[in-house]
Amino acid sequence: MHVTYGQAISDALREEMEKDENVVVFGEDVAQHGGIFGITRGLYEIFGEDRVKNTPISETSIIGVGAGAALVGLRPCIELMYSDFLLVAFSEIYHCVAKWRFMHGDQYKIPMVIRAAAGSAFGAGAEHSNCVESLFMHTPGLIIISPSTAADAKGLLKSAIRSDNPVLFFEHKQLYQVKEDIPDEEYTIPIGVADIKREGSDVTIVAIGLMVKKAMEAAEKLAAEGISAEVLDPRTIAPLDKETIRESIEKTHRAIVVEEGNKTGGIGAEIAAMMQEEMYDELDGPVLRVAALDVPLPYDVALELVCIPNADKIVETVKRLF
């Protein structure tokens, strides 16, 4: 089946709502309007207002209601529009959603998914273009997923909805209209399992979200110059599949990490530190990082493109290891 990334997410929502009447969807304009990116379009007509609800423009309330719904047995799948707005509800996510199951033992489960569109979008500006995954990596109790393909998005969202733990599900805006093949049959993808998108023998490129596409472009360019790059997509940022990363490093002995978030304190910083602490003997050089510049993203598209990683920057960085 050949579908867009956005349609794959929509299909996952519909299929899980058909399977389990406790799955509910709510967020700003998700009902009749179908959400700002059209992902929930048609769900209101199928499942009605009891299971697909619009909310006020109040992220703290949306997350708080979602946590409450999860505590009493529902499986809320919340759309929070832009991932930038997660910070408006940071206390609810950090203190309540992430911690309550741990704090209360077997009294509570928090089967709750928070979906949010992330990343640059050709001039959306500094308040609507951020990749904030790294801020939540410092929040024990959360599962963090950032799929790069339509197939991964569908399979991982279904697993996220079925999980009894809270999940942040990041969807890059530039991927919504990308069409790809996905399986026709029912499937899920396990949380916490990375995927090798391209086999290689000289260097491992660990790439997050949209940057997987950029890494694949870079790998093609590197191949033309005689460098065989392996592209590894963690898919789940927390928990991180260290074993697959280790297996790749044992083969290539060199690594870079590519993310769209800011470089300082980013995902790459954590993964690079982990590699150098736990896989040092397998490395033939430092783990390098490619990330966004440490500046608010400008509205001007030309300036925005200067700030974020691309295939050429990845190629440049890989060459520093040889």
The per-residue DSSP string of 152-163 comes to HHHHHHHHHHH-
**Cβ-based burial of 300 (10 A; exposed 0-12, middle 13-18, buried ≥19):** exposed
Every domain of the chain and the residues it spans: 2-181, 195-320
DSSP 14-63: HHHHHH-TTEEEEETT-SSS--TTSTTTTHHHHH-TTTEEE--S-HHHHH
pLDDT digits (tens, 9 = 90+) for 91-135: 999 999 999 999 988 888 999 999 999 999 888 889 999 999 999
First CA to last CA distance, the chain: 41
Host H or E run for residue 9: helix 5-19
Q: What is the pTM of this model?
A: 0.96
The residue from 128, 138, 172, 253 that is catalytic is 128
- As given in the structure block, the two tokens for residue 123 are 């001039």
**Is 128 tagged catalytic?**
yes
- Mean pLDDT, the chain, integer: 96
Alpha-carbon separation of residue 272 from 187, 269, 276 (angstroms): 32, 5, 6
**CATH fold group of domain 2-181:** Rossmann fold (3.40.50)
State in words which class domain 195-320 has. Answer: alpha beta
pLDDT digits (tens, 9 = 90+) for 159-209: 999 999 999 999 999 999 999 999 999 999 999 999 999 999 999 999 999
Host H or E run for residue 80: strand 75-82
Dihedral (Cα; 88, 174, 75, 165), 10-degree rounding: -80
| Choice among 116-130, 226-240, 243-257, 262-276 with the minimum mean pLDDT | 116-130
